[in-house]
Amino acid sequence: MTDTTSAALEYARAKEILGAYSITEASLYFMRHHSEALTPRPVKDVYDELIQQRTKAGLSDRYLEDLRYRLGAFSKGFVCEVNQITPAQVELWLDALGLSARSHNNHLRALNTFFNFAKVRKYLSKDFDPLEGIMRRREKAGRVTVFTAKELALLLNNASKKHPDYLVCLVLGAFAGLRQSEIVRLSWDDIERRLGNVEAEAGNSSPMLFSNYRELMTPEDAAAWFSVEPPDEGKVVSMQQSNSA
């Protein structure tokens, strides 16, 4: 019997066993379940272990909150073992959420973290990708809005009266160029003057600065902006005094 004849007979036998299922589907199933010594684990248990591990590692509350939001819903939607999930099922679940392009991509990022964790724990074969074929979506760049000096003054004034704990966050964003994600990770010991060139001080790359911020305000606008101060109610504390306390 030639190799060709043997292969044809093996293929025919496989099709007889599989029926409506394709050999590709059977191969993927085999890789998920038998390519290495795997431990069957429910999705919810893998999710709980991941959150526990990331919490123990001391990662930020914001990061953990994001994982809980995205992966918590996923663990409720898939009541099965992690190695039983297929890319088609994940894609259907994502589509049913009706997400924006950015949220869709953020969900993919969180799911990638989840499945990589499952592979490290040997709950999922390292050779199988449950996200295979699921494309990232193109995010449309939104127009950057810039407050006027008067709007900033009003914002700081209202924050001082109604949300004083948030005032320092607004000041850092307005005058130090920090993003929200940077501000929430800061402690008082982290507050220091930014050094370097313009783009380093702003925390952005040159292309980002030129495409979104260049020439949006005149020198007069800038002078007015940096002359804005929170209302003086005797609550201003110098950084040197705060650090020495």
Better-predicted residue by pLDDT, 212 or 151 = 151
Task: Over range 53-78, report the average pLDDT.
Answer: 93
Instruction: Please choose, from the candidates 64, 38, 228, 219, the residue with its C-alpha nearest in 3D space to the C-alpha of residue 149.
Output: 228
Q: What would the pLDDT profile of 11-43 be if each residue is shown by its tens digit?
A: 777 777 777 778 777 776 666 655 567 888 999
Report d(CA 169, CA 148) in Å as an integer: 18
End-to-end CA separation in angstroms for the chain: 88
Percent of the chain with pLDDT over 70: 72
Mean pLDDT over each residue of the chain, to the nearest integer? 79
The answer to whether 118 touches 41, Cβ cutoff 8 Å, is yes
Mean pLDDT of 67-86: 94
Half-sphere exposure of 49 (CA within 13 A, CB side): 18
Mean pLDDT computed over 47-57: 96
Q: What is the pLDDT of residue 230?
A: 61
Closest to 230 in 3D by CA, of 175, 192, 186: 175
Q: Where does the pLDDT of residue 69 fall: very low under 50, low under 70, confident under 90, or very high at 90 and above?
A: very high
More confident residue, 189 or 232: 189
Whether the pLDDT of residue 237 is over 70: the answer is no
Phi-psi region of 133 (alpha: psi -120 to 50; beta: other; left: phi over 0): left
pLDDT surpasses 60 at 202 = no
How much is the pLDDT for 205? Answer: 55
**Four-point Cα dihedral 102, 106, 108, 111, nearest 10:** -160
Q: Grade residue 57 by pLDDT with cuts at 50, 70 and 90.
A: very high
Cα-to-chain-centroid distance, residue 209? 23
Between 219 and 137, the higher pLDDT residue:
137
| pLDDT band at 169; cut points 50, 70, 90 | confident
CA dist 237 and 186 (Å) reads: 17
Angle at 120 between CA 72 and CA 136, to 5 degrees: 55
**Confidence (pTM):** 0.55
Q: Which residues contact 39 (CB under 8 A, 6 or more apart)?
A: 121, 122, 123
53-62, 184-193, 221-230: which has the minimum mean pLDDT? 184-193
Higher pLDDT, 169 or 36: 169
Buried b (16+ CB within 10 A) or exposed e, 108-144: bebbeebbebbbebebbbeebebbeebeeeeeeeeee
